[in-house]
C-alpha cells in the first residue's frame, strides 16, 4: 500500500472490545507497517478523566496483555497515540481541530479511518456530529467502520442507514462482522468456486440439506443488560449465521471483488422464503452442567429479569427458492451454554437411489457429509463409507481430513484481517446496506410475533423442539466428535 499515512480514530477507545481486540491489533499492524506510514491513533471516549498519557498507558497495557509488547512500546505509544474526550456537541468541534493538528504535525496526507466501537444507541448521534463538523470529508480517503448489530429491526436499520448516508457515501462504509473475517469463512468461496469437484454437486440434485451451527459453551457473562434488550436472534442469527448462509448458497460472482460478491449475497436474501412460526424454535438456558461444572440458568444471571422470556438459543429452517436450492432446507442453530464451542457447516448429500448394501448384513451408516469446521480445529472433513477389513461385510463412515494448523500453522485472526482491509479499501468482507435490509426483512416479523421460548438445560444441545424441527423432515442435527 502507499505511504500516504493514516489517522485511525477509535471511538469507544476505553471499552472492553477496544482493550481486548482492537487496540492490540491496531498497534501490532501499525508497528509492522501494514497500516501505512506515518501512522497515528486517536482514541475517543466519554471519559473526562482520561488524557493522552493515561490512554497511552492503557494502550501499552492492552498490547502487552495480548502478548504483543516490546521494549520500545511505551516510546512508540508516546509518539503515535493521542486521546480526546467527546460527549457533548462542542467536543466534536474541538476534535475536528485536533484531527487537523495531528495530521499537520505528523505529516499525514488526510487518510482517515473511523471505527465506532460503541453501543448501537450511540451510532446516530456520533455520525451526525461527525458530519456537522466536517469529519466525513478529508483531503485523502475517509472510511467509517461500524460494529454490529446494525439496527434492532427493519425500521431502525433503515433509519440508521439514512443517518449514515447523510454524512458518508456507501463506498466509505465498512459494516464489520468479524465472523466473515475468519480465514476459514473466506475460504468457503475458494473451496466452492476453485474446485469443480464440489461446485458440480453444489445443488438440489445432490444435496439433501445444509446445517449451520454456531455454538457457545459460555453464558452471557456480564452482558445481562445488553442481552435483555437484544436476544440471540438479533445478536447472532441476523448477522453471523445469515452471512454464512449467503456464502454457502450464493451463485458464482462475476468477479472476486466487493460489488460482485455482495450482489450475489443480496440475491440469496431476496430469494429466501418468508419464515413461518413452525420454522423457528426459541430457547433459553436453565441451570445445568457445562464441562463438568454446575452453572446458573439465564434468569439467575446478573441484570436479567427473573421472569425473562429473552431467547438465548435459536434454531430455524430456511429455504432459498432459487433454481440451485429449491426444496433443500437450510437449518441454522446457535445458542449459549451448549456443550462446547463450535462453528461448522455440514452439507449432507443425498443417499443413492438404490441402497445396494442395505439388503446385506451391513451396519447402516450415515450418508456422505462435508463438514467445514470454522472454529476451533479449523479444517474440512469429507465423510464417506468404506469396507472394514474381514468378514462379515461391514461398512464404516470415515473422514478424509484437512487441517489448517497442520498445513499453515496459526491463522490470522478476524480483526487482524479486517482492520488491514479497511486501510487497503477492500470492502469484499464487509456488509453492504442492501444485505442489512434484506436480512432484517426476513427476521423482523419473527421479533414481532412473540414466539414461545422453550427451556433447555445448560450443557445440552438446546430444547427438544429443535430436534423435532429436523425430525419432521426425516433429518437430525449432526454432532461430530
**Which tens digit of pLDDT belongs to each residue from 311-343?**
999 999 999 999 999 999 999 999 999 999 999
Q: Where in the chain is the domain with CATH 3.30.360.10?
A: 183-409+432-471
Nearest to 151 by CA among 463, 437, 445, 451: 437
Whether pLDDT at 397 is above 80: no
State the catalytic residue, choosing from 240, 326, 432, 475. Answer: 240
Whether residue 173 contacts residue 433, with contact meaning beta carbons closer than 8 Å, is answered with yes
Task: Using the structure block, give the residue that is written with the C-alpha cell 455454538.
Answer: 215
Whether pLDDT at 410 is above 90: no
Please tell me the predicted confidence (pLDDT) of residue 40: 95
Nearest to 427 by CA among 106, 180, 245: 180
3-state helix, strand, coil split of the chain in percent (to 5) is 40, 25, 35
Give residue-wise pLDDT tens across range 208-222. Answer: 999 999 999 999 988
Neighbours of 191 (CB within 10 A): 17
How large is the average pLDDT for residues 184-194? 85
More confident residue, 3 or 428: 428
Give the residues across from 334 on adjacent strands.
Answer: 214, 314
Please tell me the predicted confidence (pLDDT) of residue 2: 46
Please tell me the predicted confidence (pLDDT) of residue 352: 77
Long-range contacts at 258-265 (CB < 8 A, ≥ 24 apart): 258/426, 258/427, 258/428, 258/430, 261/189, 261/428, 262/427, 262/428, 262/431, 262/432, 262/434, 262/435, 265/432, 265/435
Q: Rounded to whole angstroms, what are the CA distances from 91 to 130, 136, 361?
A: 11, 16, 78
Please tell me the predicted confidence (pLDDT) of residue 3: 63
The CA distance from 298 to 73, in Å, is: 41
Confidence of residue 386 (pLDDT cuts 50, 70, 90): confident
How large is the average pLDDT for residues 45-58? 92
Nearest to 398 by CA among 419, 368, 439, 429: 368
Give residue-wise pLDDT tens across range 196-250. Answer: 888 889 999 999 999 999 999 999 988 888 899 889 999 999 989 999 999 999 9
The CA-to-CA distance between both ends of the chain, in Å, stands at 43
User: Which parts of 7-71 fold into alpha helices (H)?
Assistant: 16-17, 23-32, 52-65
Q: What is the mean pLDDT of the chain?
A: 90
Whether pLDDT at 395 is above 80: no
* Torsion on CA atoms 263, 266, 268, 271, rounded to nearest 10: -120
Please tell me the predicted confidence (pLDDT) of residue 37: 87
Return all residues near 332 (Cβ < 8 A) that are at least 6 apart.
211, 212, 213, 237, 241, 242, 245, 314, 315, 316, 318
Phi-psi region of 303 (alpha: psi -120 to 50; beta: other; left: phi over 0): left
Whether residue 41 contacts residue 27, with contact meaning beta carbons closer than 8 Å, is answered with yes
Instruction: Map residue 89 onto helix, strand or coil.
Output: helix
Confidence of residue 358 (pLDDT cuts 50, 70, 90): low
The CA distance from 173 to 157, in Å, is: 14
The CA distance from 72 to 59, in Å, is: 13
Please tell me the predicted confidence (pLDDT) of residue 356: 64
Backbone angles phi, psi at 240, to 5 degrees: -55, -60
Confidence of residue 68 (pLDDT cuts 50, 70, 90): confident
Confidence of residue 1 (pLDDT cuts 50, 70, 90): very low
Give the residues across from 83 on adjacent strands.
Answer: 43
Packed helices 23-32 and 52-65: angle between N→C axes, nearest 10 degrees: 90
More confident residue, 389 or 466: 466
Give residue-wise pLDDT tens across range 374-385. Answer: 888 888 898 887
Whether residue 477 contacts residue 467, with contact meaning beta carbons closer than 8 Å, is answered with yes
Q: Where in the chain is the domain with CATH 3.40.50.720?
A: 6-176
CATH 3.30.360.10: does it fit domain 183-409+432-471?
Answer: yes
Whether pLDDT at 393 is above 80: no
> Max Cα separation, the chain?
83
The CA distance from 70 to 362, in Å, is: 61
Nearest to 439 by CA among 231, 228, 275: 275
Cell numbers that stand for 470 in this block: 429436523
Class of domain 6-176: alpha beta
Annotation marks residue 240 as catalytic: yes
Nearest to 373 by CA among 395, 396, 397, 399: 399
Portion of the chain with pLDDT greater than 90, in percent: 62
Cell numbers that stand for 64 in this block: 502487552
Amino acid at each position: 500500500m502507499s505511504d500516504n499515512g493514516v489517522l485511525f480514530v477509535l471511538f469507544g477507545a476505553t471499552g472492553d472490545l477496544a482493550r481486548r481486540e482492537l487496540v492490540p491489533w491496531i498497534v501490532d499492524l501499525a508497528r509492522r507497517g501494514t497500516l501505512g506510514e506515518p501512522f497515528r491513533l486517536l482514541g475517543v471516549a466519554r471519559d473526562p478523566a482520561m488524557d493522552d498519557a493515561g490512554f497511552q498507558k492503557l494502550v501499552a497495557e492492552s498490547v502487552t496483555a495480548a502478548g504483543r509488547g516490546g521494549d520500545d512500546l511505551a516510546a512508540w505509544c508516546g509518539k503515535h497515540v493521542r486521546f480526546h474526550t467527546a460527549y457533548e456537541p462542542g467536543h466534536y468541534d474541538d476534535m475536528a481541530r485536533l484531527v487537523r493538528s495531528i495530521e499537520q504535525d505528523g505529516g499525514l496526507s488526510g487518510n482517515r479511518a473511523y471505527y465506532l466501537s460503541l453501543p448501537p444507541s450511540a451510532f446516530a448521534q456520533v455520525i451526525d456530529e461527525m458530519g456537522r463538523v466536517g469529519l466525513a470529508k478529508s483531503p485523502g480517503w475517509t472510511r467509517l467502520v461500524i460494529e454490529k448489530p446494525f439496527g434492532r429491526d427493519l425500521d431502525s436499520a433503515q433509519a440508521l442507514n439514512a443517518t449514515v448516508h447523510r454524512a458518508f457515501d456507501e463506498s466509505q462504509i465498512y459494516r464489520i462482522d468479524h465472523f466473515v473475517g475468519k480465514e476459514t469463512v473466506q475460504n468457503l468461496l475458494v473451496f466452492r468456486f476453485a474446485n469443480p469437484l464440489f461446485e458440480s454437486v453444489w445443488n438440489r440434485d445432490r444435496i439433501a440439506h445444509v446445517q449451520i451451527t454456531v455454538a457457545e459453551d459460555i453464558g452471557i457473562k456480564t452482558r445481562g443488560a445488553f442481552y435483555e434488550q437484544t436476544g440471540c436472534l438479533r445478536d447472532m442469527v441476523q448477522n453471523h449465521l445469515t452471512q454464512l448462509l449467503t456464502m454457502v448458497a450464493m451463485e458464482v460472482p462475476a468477479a472476486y471483488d466487493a460489488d460482485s460478491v455482495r450482489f450475489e449475497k443480496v440475491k440469496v436474501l431476496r430469494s429466501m422464503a418468508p419464515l413461518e412460526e413452525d420454522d423457528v424454535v426459541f430457547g433459553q438456558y436453565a441451570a445445568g452442567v457445562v464441562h463438568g461444572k454446575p452453572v446458573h440458568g439465564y434468569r439467575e444471571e446478573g441484570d436479567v429479569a427473573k421472569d425473562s422470556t429473552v431467547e438465548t438459543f435459536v434454531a430455524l429452517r430456511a429455504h432459498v427458492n432459487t433454481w440451485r436450492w429449491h426444496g433443500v432446507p437450510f437449518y441454522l442453530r446457535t445458542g449459549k451454554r451448549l456443550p462446547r464451542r463450535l462453528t461448522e457447516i455440514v452439507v449432507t448429500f443425498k443417499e443413492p437411489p438404490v441402497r445396494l448394501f442395505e439388503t446385506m448384513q451391513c451396519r447402516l451408516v450415515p450418508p456422505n457429509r462435508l463438514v467445514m469446521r470454522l472454529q476451533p480445529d479449523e479444517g474440512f472433513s469429507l465423510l464417506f463409507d468404506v469396507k472394514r477389513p474381514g468378514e462379515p461385510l461391514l461398512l464404516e463412515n470415515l473422514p478424509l481430513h484437512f487441517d489448517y494448523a497442520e498445513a499453515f500453522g496459526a491463522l490470522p485472526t478476524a480483526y487482524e484481517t479486517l482492520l488491514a482491509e479497511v486501510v487497503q479499501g477492500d470492502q469484499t468482507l464487509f456488509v453492504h446496506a442492501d444485505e442489512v435490509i434484506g436480512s432484517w426483512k426476513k427476521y423482523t416479523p419473527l421479533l414481532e410475533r412473540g414466539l414461545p421460548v422453550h427451556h433447555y438445560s445448560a450443557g445440552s444441545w438446546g430444547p427438544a423442539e429443535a430436534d423435532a424441527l429436523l425430525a419432521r423432515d426425516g433429518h437430525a442435527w449432526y454432532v461430530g466428535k
